[in-house]
Structure 1
């Protein structure tokens, strides 16, 4: 019937005295215009139907997958197929298009069909990634890198399909030809390949996850992992700057992941205070009496003194000489005080490493180091706890007849000159 309509229109034009060639040209122009208008109307109708039917259904369902399909333009791209399909069948019918233009127009339609199908697959992959990211497992096992690789594969297949169509070649034969260019392809796609391999190692070895706090001084990274992509890992530093690190660098180079600290529920305090060694001395009876009045030290000072007296008597040690035998020191009692003080604090872990120790003496005094863990991992709370502890230490040190080492200030120099 369509061919009869075509012949009728051409014969009608001939009957008006128009030549065969001009009649064919006019019918071809008419065919172009009619096909364009019909394709546009079909596209609009498809969009309206999708908006009126699909969108309300998606909003009413509890499943978020259809909402993500809308977000990633899946249905919009599906609507592009309707005019393409119409054009394709119009070309196959040989109804409107003249033979010389047939091959060219059909080629454009096929190319657009490849591109639209690639975009549809991209929407599906993006939707799958977004839907997966809604689950808790996505934090430790992100698939964004794998999704990016799949997208690249889709684009490569699309490109090969277009090239194969234009040159009338099978995709397999094109791949065989590309085999000779493998070295060039490896050079071109070096970063994506290394990034993909590195990303898989990061994910499956659980070396890094979204939300982890990592530090990598070489790249100036000290913050939270935001994205793990095919070739880069995006880190937001604590100063709100964004750092991108090559994915493969996290495999080939060293970085620090603070996830263990967060998972353990404790954050380490490792800080020293330098004691002036000139203030270190043996304790006399008056000092011991004063120290025994401190609640947390009362039992320790008494029991320790009994132990020392017993040892000295047992070994017939002449205690009239200060250096003979064993004696308590103000710094030893101070160290014990710090241990008892920290044990009484509810914000310090008692089931993790707990040390109050001396470090190597230096020209800056004797470092007294605290190596303990707080019960919180929150940065602000951690800093408050640490500051509160050292505020107390600085205030209590003079009570043990000790001094903190520091370089002389102007006032200190003036007092030395006066003396």
Structure 2
């Protein structure tokens, strides 16, 4: 079979599909999906390969932190959903309802991967900060955890609003009516955040401080300060996790002054 005959056969097949709109649109969606996945693979390879090469240069070593935390991996994952969003209108015989539904689902995936990319970026910034001198005395892990929590809450609201094709403000107004329930559910988180801010801003506690809190069995060095807990390593290498808010509501002894003298 020569090329001309093959081309005529393809034209005949495509013309026959015009008589079956559902099959026509389904085939178009399948082609769009395959193209989107292929472009996603290509984008992932090109982005990660380029970042790996750039990260070898000393001034751009910070790119390695972004790569290890999969920031660029998450950004590359947005490619298929973006291709579907912009290529959806090229699919023939696709109804407005199907176009709207598939477009909203693709947009929801785009928002999801964008949120994961921002979350990974916050993790990378935390790793970069951990190598600085300030990280030895001032922990920002609690602030990063709170920022990620707020990020995911707002992202979830926007994704749900996108899927049901409603304004996010409508869902936010509903959350306003449930504010009492939300405050009850996140009571410990809010208390821990306020306590974490007070502890760090007043320099009451640092990583490396030796503290004593007999009521919880803590007598050792502070090894980690997060949004919800402070981890203390006792002299016998046991780890005690103390809720952050308890360090503000109850007394504890800090031996930093003796260590510094």
TM-score (norm 1): 0.56
- After the TM superposition, which parts of structure 1 deviate over 4 Å for at least 4 consecutive aligned residues? 8-11
Q: Paired residue for 1:157, among 150, 154, 160?
A: 154
Q: CA deviation at 1:32?
A: 2.8
- 1:193-342 aligned at under 5 Å gives the runs 193-264=190-261
Task: Work out which of the residue numbers 35, 40, 43 in structure 2 matches 1:38.
Answer: 35
1:201 CA displacement: 0.5
Query: 2 CA distance for matches of 1:203 and 1:9?
Result: 74
Q: Assess if the C-alpha contact under 8 Å between 1:212 and 1:257 holds in 2.
A: yes
Match runs of 1:347-358 below 5 Å: none
State the superposition RMSD in angstroms.
2.3
Residue 8 of structure 2 corresponds to residue 12 of structure 1: no
* Contact 1:213/1:225, CA 8 A, preserved across alignment: yes
Deviation of the 1:14 alpha carbon = 7.2
Gaps of 5+ in 2: 1-7
SS of residue matched to 1:196: helix
Matches within 5 A, 1:77-116: 77-91=74-88, 93-96=89-92, 98-99=94-95, 100-116=97-113
Cα displacement (A) at 1:67: 1.5
Aligned residues, how many? 253
Change (3 A) 1:205 1:19: closer
Between 169-178 and 130-139, the greater mean CA deviation after superposition: 169-178
Which structure has the larger Rg over C-alpha atoms?
1
Question: Any unmatched runs of 5+ in structure 1?
Answer: 1-7, 265-419
**1:163 Cα offset (Å):** 2.5
How far residue 206 of structure 1 moved from its aligned partner, in angstroms, is 0.7
Relative to structure 1, is the Cα distance of residues 55 and 146 closer, same or farther in structure 2, using a 3 angstrom cutoff? same
Deviation readout 1:68-98 (Å, 9 max, x if unpaired): 111111010111111111011112x242572
**In the alignment, what sits opposite 2:171?**
174
User: 1:43-80 deviations in whole A, cap 9, x for unaligned?
Assistant: 11112212321112112223442121111110101111
Match of 2:180 in 1: 183
CA drift at 1:136: 1.3
Instruction: Kindly state the Cα deviation for residue 182 of structure 1 after the two structures are TM-superposed.
Output: 1.0
Going by fraction, where is helix more abundant, 1 or 2? Answer: 2
Equivalent pair of 1:90/1:96 in contact (CA under 8 Å):
no
Q: Distance in 2 between matches of 1:151 and 1:50?
A: 25
* 1:359-390 CA-partner distances (Å, limit 9, x unpaired): xxxxxxxxxxxxxxxxxxxxxxxxxxxxxxxx
| Cα distance change on mapping 1:98 and 1:131 into 2, 3 Å | same
Residues 104 and 165 in structure 2, CA contact (< 8 A), matched pair in contact too:
no
Q: What is the CA-CA distance between 1:195 and the residue it aligns to?
A: 0.7
Which SS does the other structure have where 2:91 is aligned? coil
Tell me the TM-score normalized by structure 2: 0.88
1:146 aligned residue (143, 155, 159): 143
Instruction: For CA contacts below 8 A with separation 6 or more, give which structure has more relative contact order.
Output: 2
SS at match of 2:56: helix
